[in-house]
Amino acid sequence: MLDLTRIREAQKRIAPFVRKTPVLQNKRLNEIAGQPVFFKCENLQIGGAFKARGAFNAIFSLSDRDARHGVVTHSSGNHAGAVALAAKEREIPAFIVMPENVAPPKLAQVRQTGAAIKFCEPTMEARQAAATEIISENGATLIHPYNNYDVMAGQGTAAAEFLEEIPDLAHVLVPVSGGGLLSGTATAAKGISKLIRITAVEPEGAADTWESFQKQKLMPLKDPQTIADGLRASLGELPFPIVLEKVDEVVLVSDTEIVGAMRQLWEELRVIVEPSAAVTWAALREGKVELSGPTGIILTGGNVDLDRLPWCSR
């Protein structure tokens, strides 16, 4: 259901709508890593995150008949904003379910599009129930944040684009939550080069992918506790078998390590990244990943509450 051909088709479909994001390097960060490290800046993507890729691919894959009833999704932020943007571009209704504790910048992004927002308790059960109710009332199509092959294919376009620019990458590090980006990245990268190594990174306080990978069985995430608000979803049923087949390792980082890595990326690369985007550099700079050559990191998003930076006293 997901292969390099499907990802290439997604590249063509979304090209008019998304940015070809820049790739940055930094001498100091290369010295720390001991290898050349390339940062794919999806924090500079429209909407401030890679999520635009999957949302635009899924929404512009819909038939006119399905699209006219609109789309619905549930998300803590970046995917919500991406779906709202894509729906606005296609001129169809968007219904967005968001938890009551959503980060203010991510809520503001959705509101700017004019999408209809429904708040719910910050649990997956509440999010799914609210989305189901909207589908029943409006006939909208669910654009799931990660359990959707069109979304997964769209997310994989970031890695395909990355390898077009830096074809000799030996290793790619990817944050993981629901698994849409990880499965898309692994499929694209290994479709281009079977020898490339894929490392998934997630917070210690939301370690369901790590546990699922160790046990070779999908394990639910219970009560995630991490500063990385974009990585609090459970690994999805559709990405899971792809993760088992194509991902080489899963490593964990602490919130303290995430904050340190986030600040260093701000200082050295001069770009804004959110905690969820910093987990990969945290794993690398803490020596939790063994590198064997040029390495790619996808900086997944930059939607940060500037009034609540984690290294500043409140």
- The residues assigned a catalytic role are 51, 76
DSSP character at residue 49? B
CB 75 within 8 A of CB 99: no
Question: Using an 8 Å Cβ cutoff, are 136 and 113 in contact?
Answer: no
Burial of 50 (C-beta count, 10 Å sphere; 0-12/13-18/19+): buried
Name every residue whose Cβ is closer than 8 Å to that of residue 245 and which is 6 or more positions away in sequence. Answer: none
- Structure-token pair, residue 11: 């590249």
Decide if 155 contacts 50 (C-beta within 8 A): yes
CA 282 to CA 302: how far, in whole Å? Answer: 16
